[in-house]
Every structure is written in C-alpha cells, then in structure tokens.
Amino acid sequence: MKILVLADIGDLRWRRGAGRADLVVSCGDIADRVILEAARAYRCETVFAVKGNHDPDTPFIGPIADLHLQMRERDGLRIGGLNGVWRYKSRGEFLYEQWEVRSFLASFPAVDIFVSHNCPRGVHEREGEAHRGFEGNVMGSGISNY
C-alpha cells in the first residue's frame, strides 16, 4: 500500500506534485482544502486525518475521516489517531496535559499505524518547549513508540 503522509503545510494550495496513493494521511496543521487537493493529485479517495494545534475546532470536510481517538481499517490495517500537542501554552485548540494523553490511550485499541500531530517523548523532538513529545505510556494500549 502506498501512503501519502502530510504534515504542517502552511500553503493554501497543493503545490507538491502528483502521483498515485492508496491512502492519504494528514498529521495536522494543514487546511482541509489542501488535504483534498493532495488527495485529488494522488488519485486517492481514502483520507484519514488528525488536527494539529494550529487547526480550527471544526469538523473535517468530507471525505476526510477524523482519526482522533478513533480506529479505522484500510486494506487490513488498523489505523488510529490523536489530535493536538501537549499543553505548552494556556490557550488554543487541541492542547492536552500529559496525564490526559495517558488517559486517552489507556483504553485505545491496538492499531498497526498510529497517527498523531505530536511525537512521542524522545522521538523527533526539537529544541523549545512547544516541540516536546507526549510522555503518555502507550505500551499498554497496543501502540508502540517505534
């Protein structure tokens, strides 16, 4: 299966090429319109997404399927997701305390692919408080950090 993964695209139009994909996955901070343009450019009808901390608190435009605390299947793969980032500031959308993430994931079903906007603690973190990963223990949920 070919998966086109998108994240943090600030453009208001898709400008990154075309091809063929079986699934488009958005990891957040991308306008719905851009996600749909990417899906059309890659001739893909199945689109799964989570929201990032810069996305509005509105439902995704169809046919984008929201993965937040959901599990969906595609070609035998179980795919689940989590919106947002850890609460690094006092206001904004999709900001979670570390304990909330642990609680969300404690009963999350086992999945083959887990999609999130924020990385797990210790994986792909960058300098600065805003880029710290979630500390939630995902091992008990059937989700692996690696």
Distance CA 95, CA 81 (A): 15
At residue 107 the predicted structure's pLDDT band, cuts being 50, 70 and 90, is confident
Dig out the tokens for 11 from the structure.
């453009």
Task: Check pLDDT > 80 for residue 57.
Answer: yes
Which of 59, 37, 49 is CA-nearest to residue 83? 49
Q: What percent of the chain has pLDDT over 90?
A: 61
Dig out the tokens for 30 from the structure.
């991308």
Instruction: Provide the pLDDT for residue 80.
Output: 95
Domains and their CATH numbers in the chain = 3-141 (3.60.21.10)
pTM over 0.75: yes
Contacts of 62 (CB under 8 A, 6+ apart): none
